[in-house]
Amino acid sequence: MEPEPVTLTTPRLVLRPLDPRDADAVYTAAQDPDVQRWTTIPSPYLAEHAETFTELLAPEGWATGSMFTFGVFLPDLPGLPDRPGLPDAGPRALTGVLSLTMRSLGTAEVGFWAVKEHRGRGYTTEATLAAARWAFTSLSVDRVEWRAEVGNTASRAVAENAGFTLEGTLRSAINNKGVRRDCWLASLLPSDLGLPSAAPYVPAPHSPPGE
């Protein structure tokens, strides 16, 4: 049974599943050249891409249990009217988008991008930790992986600030718009957050140097 869409909260943020009301905000944010350069979203990014993402791809990911996509928002701003014909929009200011993609049994890969105007405030790190805790406690996930193209230092900083352990560089492991590139790989385990694992974990013993 796949999990129902959930809303997560942190001291500063609300993470909720994206839906059609978010298409305009996603489209606007995705015009940033850095988002298009370092992620695999289409470039140029058109309005129909945002509509397909928020109306079809994101909801289907939840329905199939293959990808859990959250919009990361600041808390609601008082005094803003709801848009006609749509439910209460809830939090208004989109700070980024975060997805957990199921890669194998017990393993999810986190991916994210941040809205330019909201970078440098730790929002993406906060959202990543919230999503990881949810995955560990609600999805029986025992390993959250992070991958980013070598050179994407901003994404790497988020992973390091969230407590991920860098495990190495994978050659030709990312295909971004038809070009294969090397990527960094890091992981976060339940024990890193003081949580139990769903399956027993026996780390390999450390070998002396030279062995």
Judge whether 126 lies within some domain: yes
Per-residue pLDDT tens listing for the chain (211 residues): 678 899 999 999 999 999 999 999 999 999 999 999 999 999 999 999 999 999 999 999 999 999 999 999 998 754 444 444 434 444 479 999 999 999 999 999 999 999 999 999 999 999 999 999 999 999 999 999 999 999 999 999 999 999 999 999 999 999 999 999 999 999 999 999 999 999 999 999 876 665 5
pLDDT tens track for 187-204: 999 999 999 999 999 999
Q: How high is the pLDDT of residue 3?
A: 80
pLDDT tens track for 145-156: 999 999 999 999
> Looking at residue 31, which CATH number applies to its domain?
3.40.630.30
Judge whether 40 lies within some domain: yes
Burial (CB count <10 Å: 0-12, 13-18, 19+), residue 77: exposed
Task: Output the average pLDDT for the chain.
Answer: 91
Judge whether 104 lies within some domain: yes
Judge whether 19 lies within some domain: yes
Tell me whether strands 8-9 and 67-73 are parallel, antiparallel or unpaired: unpaired
What whole-number distance in Å separates Cα of residue 211 and Cα of residue 135?
Answer: 36
- Residues of the domain holding 116: 8-79+88-142
Nearest to 162 by CA among 94, 112, 93: 112
Judge whether 192 lies within some domain: no
Judge whether 37 lies within some domain: yes
- What's the structural domain count of the chain? 1
CA 97 to chain centre: 6
Judge whether 50 lies within some domain: yes
